[in-house]
Structure 1
Amino acid sequence: MALDFLAGCVGGAAGVLVGHPFDTVKVRLQVQSVEKPLYRGTFHCFQSIIKQESVFGLYKGIGSPMMGLTFINALVFGVQGNTIRALGKDTPTNQFLAGSAAGAIQCVICCPMELAKTRMQLQGTGEYKLKTRTYKNSLDCLVKIYQQEGLRGINKGMVSTLIRETPSFGFYFLTYDCLTRSLGCEPEDSFVVPKLLLAGGMSGIVSWLSTYPMDVIKSRIQADGVRGMQQYSGILDCVRKSYQVEGWRVFTRGLTSTLLRAFPVNAATFATVTIFLMYMRSEEVMTECEAALPQPSSL
């Protein structure tokens, strides 16, 4: 049981390092002003950030996901693995249910973490530019939000996060299960690593496509009020106003950078988790076999 949590922690750290630059671009594109856009698209956004802020600008706000996502992945893979065992049978339906349960539970950590990440990623850019830095780091960001807005403030966007994460993680684990079965990902297979990378990457893409419009809404709600003025009263109000101003394309903003990020991040995460579990479980089996062998008598 503990192995699922530990494997998720290792896989989460690998995923954050690979994917955070893409996430920074995604957030910048999702919340930029339609009247005065700073970026023409994904690649222009990448170029602009590196030119104006150096490559480290792509890693703004990484403290929050590095602290949070390692724990979140530990929670997700731990809950999913234990839920599958509790359901008693490893079927596609149970994979979806277990993934959905894991996605819902991790929202308690995911929502405040993404709020801090979003605020840090927007700090010092365009219409969010201030004369001085408002937040020193992700923890300082959450502390200041809590001081100003209380518990409700650090949980801003919780409902939209829950709507996004619950089915998304269901599709995430369902897709990975189906692909690994069809590809025949066995430990003795010499091509097991490329197969795991492919299955993990595609799982991430399917997961994001399943609920991406809600991610746009979540980002806008969490960025709302940064300039001191609230634009949206809730999820439906955000959907309505966003659609009225920008049309249906608003719900695909940042999708290119998200999908570019989704494949390598989830390929790294799932492959790391699976290989870690394969290795640790083989070690456990070997230890049990050695313990079962007759011990030589001491001289």
Structure 2
Amino acid sequence: MSDVFLNFIAGGVGGSCTVIVGHPFDTVKVRLQTMPVPKPGEKPLFTGALDCVKQTVAKEGFFALYKGMAAPLVGVSPLFAVFFGGCAVGKYLQQTDPNQEMTFVQNAISGGLAGVFTTAVMVPGERVKCLLQVQQAGNASTGVQYNGPVDVIKKLYKQGGIASIYRGTAATLLRDIPASAAYLSVYEYLKKKFSGEGAQRTLSPGATLMAGGLAGIANWSVCIPADVLKSRLQTAPEGKYPDGIRGVFREIIREEGPKALFKGFTPVMLRAFPANAACFFGLELTLAAFRFIGVGGQPPKVEDVALANAE
């Protein structure tokens, strides 16, 4: 079970890389997903991802794109640690031999299981992040209410207790179980393809980045509709959706149509590749460092040299 601990630590490093690279794209995504529906004849708040970036930077400055980053940076590092630790648990439960190679389906099961594990860590951080991201976005229903992550937690607890802080749990599970299954299985499949055949498999830094980036695209291709529902639910005023995600879904279909379930598609896909390439590169680099110094009893692999040189 030492692999679980090593993957936990390496996942935390990968998660930090993900946040630093991907947060501006995420801010744009959330603002597009939660902007008010324009009245007939009225222009939308943002005409697209680029317009959202321009308006945000012009009105609030460049660092407004990093609003709310403290919450995911604190939350995402342990989140990815839990995710990759959970993947290792899933692998451990399915293997009959430590050297057994996992199939595509087995990796999908491991990823889905890890998606369940991460929900408890993710939901509060996502709720805080989304509320901070939509501030000063011209959303009259939200406005400027919070001075930072701690202030958000205090006010949410005062409004509705722990249930308010964990609003969006079901939506997060709906998003993350299939997305996490796609994420890990696609990465491991591409990693195997890119590393070649035979005993001397090598995975270059470029191949690691490519496999990680494409795995991120696979992840988000699966989960964008559920992510839109989650963002709407988590940024709505207290009591607006008493029946949760079902109420959000009915409102979106009634007022905006099915296309609205894919709001934020452009920034999501622009973010998916670099953020997840950075995540897996950080993960593999950390695991390579562990093997290099002999932690966990695993000998260094051929690709560890290439990763060390890239560092």
Q: Give the TM-score taking structure 1 as reference length.
A: 0.89
Q: Counterpart of 2:243?
A: 233
For the aligned residue pairs, the C-alpha RMSD in angstroms reads 2.3
Cα 1:66–1:286 shift into 2, 3 Å: closer
Q: Counterpart of 2:129?
A: 117
1:11 maps to which of 14, 17, 21: 14
Matches of 1:235 and 1:254 in 2, distance apart?
A: 18
Q: Counterpart of 1:56?
A: 63
Matched, 1:65 2:75: no
Alignment of 1:9-88 (within 5 A): 9-35=12-38, 37-88=44-95
Matched, 1:214 2:226: yes
Matches of 1:266 and 1:73 in 2, distance apart?
A: 11
2:289 maps to which of 279, 284, 296: 279
- Aligned amino acid, residue 139 of structure 1: V
List, as ranges, runs of 4+ consecutive aligned residues in structure 1 with deviation greater than 3 Å: 128-131, 185-191, 285-289
- How many angstroms does 1:185 deviate by? 6.7
Which deviates further from its counterpart, 117-126 or 261-270?
117-126
Which deviates further from its counterpart, 31-40 or 69-78?
31-40
Q: Counterpart of 2:161?
A: 150
- Aligned amino acid, residue 180 of structure 2: F
Cα 1:153–1:285 shift into 2, 3 Å: closer
CA deviations 1:40-80 (Å, max 9, x no partner) are 10011111111111111000000100000001011111111
CA deviations 1:67-112 (Å, max 9, x no partner) are 0000101111111113202211422121111111111111011111
Cα 1:185–1:42 shift into 2, 3 Å: farther
C-alpha contact (below 8 Å) 2:18/2:278 kept by paired residues: yes
Aligned positions, number: 286
Q: Unaligned 5+ residue runs, structure 2?
A: 300-311
C-alpha contact (below 8 Å) 2:196/2:202 kept by paired residues: no
Which deviates further from its counterpart, 53-62 or 142-151?
142-151
C-alpha contact (below 8 Å) 1:49/1:57 kept by paired residues: yes
- How many angstroms does 1:267 deviate by? 0.2
C-alpha contact (below 8 Å) 1:196/1:267 kept by paired residues: yes
- Aligned amino acid, residue 177 of structure 2: T
Q: Counterpart of 2:188?
A: 177
- How many angstroms does 1:164 deviate by? 0.5
Q: Counterpart of 1:294?
A: none
Cα 1:288–1:56 shift into 2, 3 Å: closer
Matched, 1:257 2:267: yes
- How many angstroms does 1:18 deviate by? 0.3
C-alpha contact (below 8 Å) 1:111/1:157 kept by paired residues: yes
- How many angstroms does 1:278 deviate by? 1.8
Q: Give the TM-score taking structure 2 as reference length.
A: 0.86
